[in-house]
């Protein structure tokens, strides 16, 4: 059946019985504020591929706000409802995989999916899971190199990491290896809840030269308080998502998540048309962004060289 014929078929079914619409369960690990633009990119691309919410597909959203028990509960709910495909990211991938071995799962963004046992290989995922995988070890090294270029005399680094996130081990390994190579002493600040963030940030004044924030749903959902505390303590910050810089952070380097979530729609499209996740190769990011907040740099008294500024994909002034 061609794509057009498939749409006519499902649309006709909708006219006869709304319950027959395929259901996409979108398990959002963050909040509407932190993940809304990414989710919108998915919906827009899915629509361009022929799937319109309310017409020939139904999209149900669950916003977990970085709360792991809530993520697990939402994953179980989608399985109970027998949705046709689950779209998720971060810890939502683990929760969904633990909740079902049959319902297709697409991860819009996840760390090292092979090392963490999410898929068998990038080329042939096997099982019911596929999507877009990020290599955290390589990215953490690149971030610290950029930080060193901007702050040559950095000697002490605090790294805020969520120990509940499944990809944290690879991230910490990458941070420690890069720090050792650059002769930077690193203090890992472990968090699991929003309250832990307050406690960790309160310890940083006069104790570190820079703050590395492991960017995932919990820190993303609480980026305002992280940036506010770092600003009060006059601590330069580096993140994995540009959204942190838009909110007042200093620099970010990482995959373009709007692009990743949009590409996830292509996986969903294939699955809704009958493809098996096991046969859809895992893809990796193709767009990376280096963002500098020059206004924040000036407020911190940092003089960023033209050489570094010209390497940035965007400079916020």
Q: Do both 20 and 146 map to the same domain?
A: no
pTM of the model: 0.85
d(CA 184, CA 194) in angstroms, rounded, equals 27
Cβ-based neighbour number of residue 37 at 10 Å: 14
DSSP 57: B
**Together in a domain, 125 and 12:** yes
Do 209 and 69 belong together in one domain? no
Indicate which CATH number applies to the domain containing 39: 3.40.50.2300
- Please write the tens of the pLDDT for every residue from 20-50: 899 999 999 999 999 999 999 999 999 999 9
Q: Which domain holds residue 51?
A: 3-134+257-287
Look at the block and give the residue holding tokens 């959002």: 28
Kindly report, residue by residue over 108-148, the tens digit of the pLDDT.
999 889 988 999 999 999 999 999 998 777 788 999 999 99
pLDDT in the model for residue 18: 46
- Please state, in angstroms and rounded to a whole number, the distance separating the CA atoms of residues 269 and 272: 5
Return the axis-axis angle of helices 223-232 and 194-201, rounded to nearest 10°: 10
What is the mean pLDDT of the segment spanning 169-175? 86
Task: Verify that 224 and 86 share a domain, yes or no.
Answer: no
Query: Based on the domain organization, do 275 and 299 belong to the same domain?
Result: no
Tell me how far apart the alpha carbons of residues 46 and 262 are, in angstroms, rounded to a whole number.
Answer: 8
Dist CA 203 CA 199 (whole Å): 7
What's the pLDDT band for 8 if we cut at 50, 70, 90? Answer: very low
Helices 136-150 and 168-181 pack at an angle, to 10 degrees, of 40
The pLDDT of residue 166: 67
In this structure, the answer to whether residues 224 and 83 fall within a common structural domain is no
Whether the per-residue pLDDT at 1 is higher than 60: the answer is: no
Number of domains within the chain: 2
Is the domain of 178 the same as that of 269?
no
43 shares a domain with 140? no
């Amino acid at each position: 059946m061609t794509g057009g014929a498939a749409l006519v078929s499902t649309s006709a079914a909708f006219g006869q019985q709304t319950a027959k619409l395929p259901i996409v369960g979108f398990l959002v690990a963050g909040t509407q504020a932190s993940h809304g633009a990414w989710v919108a990119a998915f919906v827009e691309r899915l629509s361009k591929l022929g799937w319109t919410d309310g017409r020939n597909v139904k999209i149900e959203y669950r916003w977990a706000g970085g709360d792991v028990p809530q993520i697990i509960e939402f994953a179980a709910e989608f399985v109970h409802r027998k949705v046709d495909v689950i779209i998720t990211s971060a810890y939502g991938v683990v929760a969904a995989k633990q909740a079902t071995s049959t319902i297709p799962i697409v991860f819009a963004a996840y760390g090292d999916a092979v090392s963490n046992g999410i898929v068998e290989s990038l080329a042939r995922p096997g099982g019911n899971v596929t999507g877009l995988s990020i290599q955290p070890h390589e990215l953490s090294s690149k971030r610290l190199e950029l930080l060193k270029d901007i702050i040559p005399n950095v000697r002490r680094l605090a790294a805020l990491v969520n120990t509940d996130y499944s990809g944290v081990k690879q991230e910490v390994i990458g941070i420690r290896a890069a720090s050792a190579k650059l002769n930077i002493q690193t203090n890992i600040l472990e968090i699991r809840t929003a309250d832990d963030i307050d406690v960790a940030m309160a310890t940083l004044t006069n104790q570190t030269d820079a703050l590395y924030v492991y960017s995932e749903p919990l820190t993303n959902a609480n980026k305002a308080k992280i940036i506010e505390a770092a600003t009060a303590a006059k601590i330069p910050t580096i993140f994995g998502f540009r959204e942190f810089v838009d909110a007042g952070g200093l620099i970010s380097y990482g995959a373009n998540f709007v692009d990743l979530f949009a590409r996830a729609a292509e996986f969903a499209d294939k699955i809704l048309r009958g493809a098996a996740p096991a046969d859809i190769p895992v893809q990796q990011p193709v767009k990376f962004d280096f963002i500098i907040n020059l206004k924040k740099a000036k407020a911190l008294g940092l003089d960023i060289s033209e050489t570094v500024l010209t390497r940035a994909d965007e400079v916020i002034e």
